[in-house]
Every structure is written in C-alpha cells, then in structure tokens.
Amino acid sequence: MSAWGIVGTGHHLPDRVVDNEEVARDLGIPAEWIVRSTGIHTRRRAAPHEASSDLAAAAARASLLDSGRDVADVGLIVVGTSTPDELGPSTACRVQASLGAAGAAVDIGAACAGYLFGLQFACGWLSANPDAGCAVVIGTEVYSRFLDPRDRTTAVLFGDGAGATVIDRAPDGHGIRSIRLGSDGTGADHVLIPAGGSRRPADASTIADDAHRIRMDASAVRDDIRTVLPRLIADALTEHAVGLDDLDLLIPHQPNPRTLRIVADHTGMPLDRIVIVGEDIGNIGAASIPTALDIAARGGRVRAGDTALLIAIGAGMTWGRVWLRWHDTKDTTP
C-alpha cells in the first residue's frame, strides 16, 4: 500500500436530537426497552430541507479545515451512502458543486462499509494520479427519510449524519498500511429498501406496501455482525503478524453499542480501546467510521504512532477492514 494517509477529519450531525421517549411513543413500547436492547439513548434527524449531500458537504468542509487543505487542492470526492439525494446523479456530484470543487466525484454503494470501500477507491486513484491533488472520502446518511416509525427493528437504530476524511501523502511507515474488502451477495436480502429501483419502481402499490422503507432481518444481521467482525479483527492481526495488545484502537462502524460490547467480549478487545459513539448518534451507516474517527482524534484518543483498525459490515452483504498507523496529520512530509 502506498503511503497515503488520513490528514484531516471532520463530521456533521443535524441539529435535531430525537430521544428514546419520542421513538418509543410511535412504537408503543417503553423507552427503557430501547436502551436495554441497543444501548442507544439518542439519535439525530435531518431537517426537512437537508439531504445527504448537505450533511456530506458540511463534513467535508470540516475535514478540509482540519487538514489545512483548500477546496482547490481536492482532485477527488468519494461518497459512501445508502441514502442518496436521488437515484442519479451521484450524490458526490452534488457535494462537489456545493463545495465548488473540481476533478472527479463518484458514489460508492456498500452500505455501512461504504466509507472503507471509498478509501480503497481513493488510494487507487491517488496512486494513478499522484499530482492531481488530495481526495476527500465521505460517508453520509439520511436514514430518517426511509424509516417506518412503527418498525422497532429499524426505527430504534438508525440516525442521520456525515463524516469525512482528507486523504493525502503520509510519512514513510505511517498512513494506510492495508485495505481488505469483501462481499457475499447471498445476504443481499438481510437489509434493504425493496422499492424505488429498477426492479420495483415506485408506484401506488409500493407506496401502499411501505416498500420504500428500510426492511431488516434483525436476527440474520445480528448473526452476520457477530460472525464477521471478530473474523475481520483476527485476520488483520494475522496479516500484520501482531497480537491484540499491539492494536491501540479499534474503530468499528456502529450497528449499536450493545452488539459492539458483545463483539469486544468475544474477541478479548478491551472496551477502552474501542471507539463507541452510537449511544448518542445511533447507527449512521457509512458515516459511522469517519465520524467515530473524528471524535476520537479530536478527543485525543488516537495519537501519532498509534495503530488503528477500522472495520465494518454492511448490507449486501459487504465488509471491510483498514489497518493504519496514525501520524501527526499536520506533518505530511513523505
């Protein structure tokens, strides 16, 4: 892997906070059940005028500010999202226009693993175009537009938000050291939005069936997470010939805090070395990892020289892991 690294982080959450009492009223369940089952206390909801590209552009601006780069330095924008502004064009093109950037812009459709797939795309593009500027990789979701407030398998979990990172050269021995991705299309029905695409275009019957809402086989997804995430950790440790004690920080996507604590117990990873932010923001899909990374960086939880592992499993089903050595993001001398 070339010496490309994360040189700036940022995230953006909508202003509106939705607590468990509000969600529970629509579901007809006690608010305490949500905490016991998921560990989530609050999540954010986008305002009526806010789309995924709006949140993404705000997160991108924050990451560029953190990196010391300017919009003119950006040669590539990659957006991972399951909730695009529209089926076409790419939400990344909307973000590019909002920022006033030039170069290339593309979407990645890998659900909660979309940000990690985006990192692979960005590193490959930068390697092929080393003088074309930096890349901004974004995860953004506005799940609230696709939730059935009466479906407790989804309504309690998902929130809205965006996270972004700037990718540029890193010092030797630092930055992104490996990226491994995978998919198993036989699990595509485990979580999906059934209608609105070319197979079931939106019409009166799909609206009546609420088929434009997120549908999830909760038990299948839970089994996928509890099987795949520990495997990703074990495979990364084996590939890099290190033990669990050599991993300073684990930054997973945020299915829910309760599940992450189960994974920690199963793998033996101490909780104080796992970044868990879902209590306050819920599952924000492709935005989860860059948002958690930004919160960790700004909170001093990841320091120069630290080894971090980013892992995710998403609808499709898709999964990915990224091994990196953190560096002083203000020092980009190769």
Distance CA 60, CA 12 (A): 9
* Residue spans of alpha helices (H) in the chain: 20-27, 31-38, 52-67, 91-99, 114-128, 152-155, 204-208, 218-239, 257-267, 278-281, 288-298
Catalytic residue numbers read 112, 253, 283
Nearest to 30 by CA among 158, 152, 147, 149: 152
Sign of CA dihedral 30, 32, 37, 39: positive
CA distance 99 to 138: 13
How many CA atoms within 13 Å lie on the side-chain side of 237? 18
Does 130 sit behind a cis peptide bond, omega within 30 degrees of 0 on the bond before it?
Answer: no
At residue 244, the 3 state secondary structure works out as helix
| 62-132-9 Cα angle (round to 5) | 20
Query: Residue 180's beta-bridge partner residues?
Result: 321
CA-derived radius of gyration, the chain: 19
Cα distances (Å, whole numbers) of residue 285 to 3, 110, 158, 218: 27, 10, 8, 15
C-alpha distances (whole Å) from 41 to each of 1, 54, 176 are 39, 25, 33
